């Protein structure tokens, strides 16, 4: 599927148009939730638990209420009267809005104070006296099902900390393959608890108008429509009276998919007071209480022959979900798309099982810049392949090459049930090897080892599964995961489009306009894209899991094609010919054989309102709800080169080559920007970030003092490249890309560090690989004193 390139003036697909949204962002003129100021607005502040597990003995809010300017103090008991003390999570569990009975993690929401200004609200929150009785704390997920473990969720019928067991694959065939395999390699790897930490924290302004009975919620939401429906279902507010507006969003990365207690409290407060209520969390509140990511404790075993040809894969995983199972996953997938863990390789059989448990930690398990647990899966298989290569003393690039699914095998059904749409894994590998001068690097490494210097090369050949999804397989809380686009062409040939997705910095205002430009020939600069207002945009499931281009992007193309079909009728009328005599070329309909007779899309748009044929409706608009036939499967090969300082254990990423294949590209510059961002986040996860807990359940990593964000100083230089294998089922062959670099890169970093130390017998190091970990290993191995 090749895309005919438009002129730069039209700016269709493949043009590196500057991002339309950036002019307001770089001038500080964005409009984020905290920029919303409404007349009579008041402020909410959360009172949070200092304990990870404690019985709530009493809450005395009298002193807080007496502080001048305080309007209300809401507790769990108050919410219980309205049946709102608990709310459903996105995954068949419920979560306390405000604690009743007991608290289950440090920083859990206990009371909500509303006051005339933020300062009074903060002061009043300090005056709420809460008496607790401390209970035994469960921090280690491996101890969750031990006989002496405290039962955390006494609200549940099952008196156990075990949430679910999920398995997929052919257990018998996998066992058989393992029994006869001459080579077995295994790795235990932790994809540690981390947090997306978007630049903008979560928050909302809830505005209930008692006169019109209409509730407007300005919300940091990646999925405004789904949130509107959930507010209606849970709060009992008629859905036509709810308007959710997601204004500019300062990064989401999955963190802004769930509904948080602060939103519910602000809504309840506004319903009660009849005034707009703003609640914006602090950085620490964001890190400590909102959706974390990962916390997967995984074991992978590969069965192979002596030549390194893989036969079977066995995966066993323990998932720490914290106090409530608030994972944002499609309904049928308790471990998300983790079963894509066979990766880019041709495994004949595989078996994967996952157990989820509760602990005294913040709830979550969101898809941090990945499609539902795919980062965990990609990290695991790419680590395991390196362990196998090391065991067989094979070059990791050659081991991968030997085992790739071949281009002729697509569509390829994996042993765990996914059907990959298209791929050319060896193509991406070859390009990356060439860009990095692999053979030369290996030679250099050999020489350096002789001199006692530490240098490592890490490879990761990941496959992502994005764009959920086919409605028959994917839904969130029952709502099918289609998505939508509406295009309205104005009489003067300009257009406005609205989508069910919601940009959080991905550049939708530019890329969707480019799709319209490509399909209709209307210059992208003449197309306005609006998202995030549920009163105006068509229904959709929002932006996460790299689904915008595969779903709403596809819907945009389909809606544009509907418009083109109607435009053809109008053109035939204007040119006094039959539709069959017309052909579409560069934004015009021409009469075949008489190209001087033509009508541009702009002329046709004007006629759609001024001179349309009898029997045809006026106007030039279309809407499309696109249900993709399958996921799309972007892929790539990343190669990382590190040098390690023996004295300090410091790791320096000397080079990082990223070859991505996301099919046909809408805007190469935006794709590159997304890859730079994703690699930087992957780098942070590999080397810097961990939300840890001490034995009492105190959060260690609950502020930017301890939870580190890479700046320009730490961030390596990225070298990007691409291959192009279009998706055969997507309307313009695109696959989605925003998450690939975060999915594929952690394994490349870790593989590089392990490779640098492999001659010392090091087989694995858990992330984040801070210098002290490396230094400790070097000390243990006697490399340094």
Catalytic residue numbers read: 222, 369-370, 739
From residue 197, alpha-carbon distances to 164, 311, 578, 732, 755 in Å are 28, 39, 58, 33, 30
User: Quick check: 650 binds other proteins (CB under 8 A)?
Assistant: no
**Ordered alpha helix ranges (H), 437-481:** 438-450
Beta carbons of 762 and 753 less than 8 angstroms apart? no
Q: Does residue 50 touch other proteins according to CB under 8 A?
A: yes
Min dist CB 71 to other proteins, Å, is 20
The piece of 129-137, 245-253, 260-268, 469-477 that touches other proteins (CB under 8 A) is: 129-137
- The dihedrals phi and psi of 282, each to the nearest 5 degrees, come to -80, 170
- Asked if 695 touches other proteins (CB under 8 A), the answer is yes
- Closer residue to other proteins, CB minimum distance, 106 or 317: 106
Where do the DSSP E strands lie in 415-526? 419-420, 454-463, 475-476, 479-480, 483-489, 495-499
Helices (H), 147-260: 171-180, 224-235
Q: Look-up: residue for tokens 């996921």?
A: 631
**Contact letters (x/-) for other proteins, 158-187, by CB under 8 A?**
------------------------------
- 35 interacts with other proteins by CB under 8 A: no
Nearer to other proteins, 139 or 574 (CB): 139
Exposed/middle/buried for residue 778 (C-beta within 10 Å: 0-12, 13-18, 19+)? buried
Cβ closer to other proteins: 47 or 541? 47
Query: Any contact of residue 126 with other proteins (CB under 8 A)?
Result: yes
Choose one: 19-27, 302-310, 696-704, 741-749; the region binding other proteins (CB under 8 A): 696-704
Q: Which stretch binds other proteins (CB under 8 A): 79-87, 305-313, 510-518, 695-703?
A: 695-703
Q: Which two tokens stand for residue 413?
A: 């059904």
Q: From the CB of 361, what's the least distance to other proteins, in Å?
A: 13
Helix (H) or strand (E) holding 145: none
Among positions 22, 131, 434, 780, the unique one binding other proteins when judged by CB under 8 A = 131
Pick one of 283, 694, 760, 781: the residue that binds other proteins (CB under 8 A): 694
Among 66, 307, 585, 700, binds other proteins (CB under 8 A): 700
Q: According to CB under 8 A, which one of 33, 42, 104, 128 is a site residue for other proteins?
A: 128
Residue 130 found at the interface with other proteins (CB under 8 A): yes
**Between 127 and 752, CB nearer to other proteins:** 127
Residues sharing a CB contact under 8 Å with residue 64, sequence separation 6 or more, in sequence order: 70, 73, 113, 124, 125, 127, 128
d(CA 68, CA 121): 10
- Read off the tokens for 44: 């909410």
| Residue appearing with tokens 């997920």 | 141
For residue 126, the minimal CB distance to other proteins (Å) is: 6
Q: Are 228 and 244 in contact (CB under 8 A)?
A: yes
- The DSSP line for 571-625 is HHHHHTS-GGGEEEETTEEEETTEEEEEEEHHHHHHHHHHSPPTTS-SS-EEEEE
Which segment (189-197, 290-298, 487-495, 691-699) binds other proteins by CB under 8 A? Answer: 691-699
Q: Which residues of 425-456 are buried (b: 16+ CB within 10 A; e: fewer)?
A: bbbbbbbbbebbebeebeeebeeeeeeeebbb
292 binds other proteins, rule: CB under 8 A: no
Is 66 a residue that touches other proteins (CB under 8 A)? no
Q: How far is the CB of 695 from other proteins (least distance, A)?
A: 7
List all residues 6 or more positions away from 231 whose beta carbon is below 8 Å from its beta carbon: 215, 217, 237, 242, 244, 259, 267
Spell out the residues 6+ positions from residue 565 whose beta carbon is closer than 8 angstroms to its own.
Answer: none
698: contact with other proteins by CB under 8 A: yes
Binding residues for other proteins, total number by CB under 8 A:
26
Does 134 sit near other proteins (CB under 8 A)? yes
Cα 567 to Cα 562: distance, rounded to the nearest angstrom: 9
Nearer to other proteins, 106 or 630 (CB): 106
The minimum distance between CB 135 and other proteins, in angstroms, equals 11
DSSP secondary structure string, 86-127?
Answer: EEE-SSS-EEESS-SSEE-STT-EEEEEEESSHHHHHHHHHH
Q: Find the part of the chain contacting other proteins (CB under 8 A) among 87-95, 237-245, 272-280, 689-697.
A: 689-697
Site membership for other proteins, residue 150 (CB under 8 A): no
106 is an interface residue for other proteins by CB under 8 A: yes
- Residue 785 Cβ vs other proteins, minimum distance, rounded to whole Å: 18
* Least distance between other proteins and beta carbon 141 (Å): 20
Q: Which two tokens stand for residue 491?
A: 């009489």
Residue 117 binds other proteins (CB under 8 A)? no
Half-sphere exposure of 236 (CA within 13 A, CB side): 5
Q: Shortest distance, CB of residue 706 to other proteins, whole angstroms? A: 6
When the beta carbons of 158 and 695 are compared against other proteins, the nearer one is 695
CB of 43: closest distance to other proteins in angstroms?
17
Q: Which residues bind other proteins (CB under 8 A)?
A: 49-52, 106, 126-132, 134, 284, 288, 694-700, 702-703, 705-706
């Amino acid at each position: 599927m090749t895309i005919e390139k438009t002129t730069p003036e039209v700016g269709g697909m493949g043009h590196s148009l500057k991002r339309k949204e950036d002019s307001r962002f770089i001038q500080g003129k964005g409009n984020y939730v905290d920029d919303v100021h409404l007349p009579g607005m008041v402020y909410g502040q959360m009172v949070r638990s200092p304990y990870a597990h404690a019985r709530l003995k009493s809450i005395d809010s009298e002193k807080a209420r007496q502080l001048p300017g305080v309007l209300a103090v809401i507790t769990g008991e108050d919410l219980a009267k309205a049946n709102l003390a608990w709310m459903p999570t996105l995954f068949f569990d419920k979560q306390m809005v405000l604690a009743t009975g007991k608290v289950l993690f440090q920083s859990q929401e206990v009371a909500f104070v509303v006051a005339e200004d933020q300062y009074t609200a903060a002061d009043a929150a300090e005056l709420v006296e809460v008496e607790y009785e401390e209970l035994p704390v469960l921090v280690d997920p491996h101890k969750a099902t031990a006989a002496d473990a405290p039962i955390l969720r006494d609200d549940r019928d099952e008196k156990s900390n075990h949430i679910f067991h999920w398995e997929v694959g052919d257990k018998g065939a996998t066992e058989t393959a393992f029994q006869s395999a001459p080579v077995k390699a295994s790795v235990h790897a932790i994809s540690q608890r981390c947090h997306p930490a978007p630049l903008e924290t979560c928050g909302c302004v809830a505005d209930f108008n008692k006169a019109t009975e209409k509730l407007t919620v300005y919300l940091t939401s990646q999925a405004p429509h789904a949130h509107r429906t959930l507010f209606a279902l849970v709060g009992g507010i008629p859905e036509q009276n709810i308007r959710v507006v997601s204004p500019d969003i300062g990064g989401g990365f999955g963190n802004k998919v769930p509904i948080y207690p602060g939103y519910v409290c602000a809504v309840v407060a506004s319903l009660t007071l009849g005034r707009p209520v703003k609640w914006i969390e602090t950085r620490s509140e964001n890190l400590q209480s909102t959706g974390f990511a990962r916390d997967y404790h995984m074991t992978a075993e590969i069965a192979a022959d002596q030549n390194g040809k893989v036969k079977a894969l066995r995966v066993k995983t323990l998932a720490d979900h914290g106090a409530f199972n608030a994972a944002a996953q499609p309904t049928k997938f308790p471990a998300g798309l983790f079963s894509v863990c066979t990766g880019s390789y041709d495994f004949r059989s595989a078996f994967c099982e996952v157990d989820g448990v509760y602990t005294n930690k913040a709830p979550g398990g969101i898809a941090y810049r990945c499609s539902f647990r795919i980062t965990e899966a990609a990290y695991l298989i790419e680590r395991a392949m390196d362990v196998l290569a090391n065991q067989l003393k094979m070059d990791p690039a050659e081991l991968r090459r030997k085992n790739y699914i071949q281009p002729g095998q697509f569509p390829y059904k994996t042993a765990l049930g996914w059907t990959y749409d298209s791929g050319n894994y060896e193509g991406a590998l070859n390009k990356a090897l060439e860009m990095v001068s692999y053979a030369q690097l290996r030679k250099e490494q050999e020489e350096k080892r002789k001199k006692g210097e530490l240098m490592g090369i890490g490879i990761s050949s990941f496959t992502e599964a994005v764009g959920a999804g086919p409605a028959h397989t994917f839904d969130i809380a029952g709502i099918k995961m289609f998505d939508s686009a509406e295009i309205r062409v104005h009489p003067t040939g300009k257009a406005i489009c609205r989508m069910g997705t919601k940009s959080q910095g991905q550049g939708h205002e530019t890329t969707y306009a480019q799709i319209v430009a490509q399909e209709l020939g209307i210059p992208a600069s003449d197309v306005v894209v609006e998202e995030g207002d549920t009163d105006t945009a068509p229904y959709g499931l929002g932006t996460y899991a790299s689904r915008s281009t595969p779903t709403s992007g596809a819907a945009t193309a389909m809606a544009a094609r509907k418009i083109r079909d109607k435009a053809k009728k109008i053109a035939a009328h204007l040119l006094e010919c039959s539709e069959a005599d017309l052909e579409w070329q560069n934004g015009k309909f021409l009469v075949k054989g008489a190209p001087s007779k033509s009508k541009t899309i702009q002329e046709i748009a004007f006629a759609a309102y001024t001179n349309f044929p009898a029997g045809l409706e006026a106007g030039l608009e279309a809407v499309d709800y696109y249900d993709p036939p399958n996921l799309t499967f972007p892929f790539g090969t990343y190669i990382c080169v590190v040098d390690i300082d023996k004295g300090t254990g410091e790791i320096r990423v000397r080079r990082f080559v990223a070859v991505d294949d996301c099919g046909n590209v809408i805007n190469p510059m935006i794709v590159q920007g997304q890859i730079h961002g994703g690699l930087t986040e992957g780098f942070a996860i590999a080397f810097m970030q961990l939300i840890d807990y001490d034995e009492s359940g105190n959060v260690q990593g609950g502020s930017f003092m301890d939870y580190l964000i890479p700046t320009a100083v730490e961030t390596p230089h990225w070298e990007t490249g691409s291959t192009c294998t279009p998706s055969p089922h997507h309307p313009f062959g695109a696959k989605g890309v925003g998450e690939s670099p975060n999915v594929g890169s952690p394994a490349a970093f870790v593989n590089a560090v392990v490779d640098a130390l492999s001659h010392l017998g090091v087989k694995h190091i858990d992330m984040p690989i801070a210098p002290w970990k490396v230094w400790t290993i070097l000390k243990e191995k006697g490399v340094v004193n």
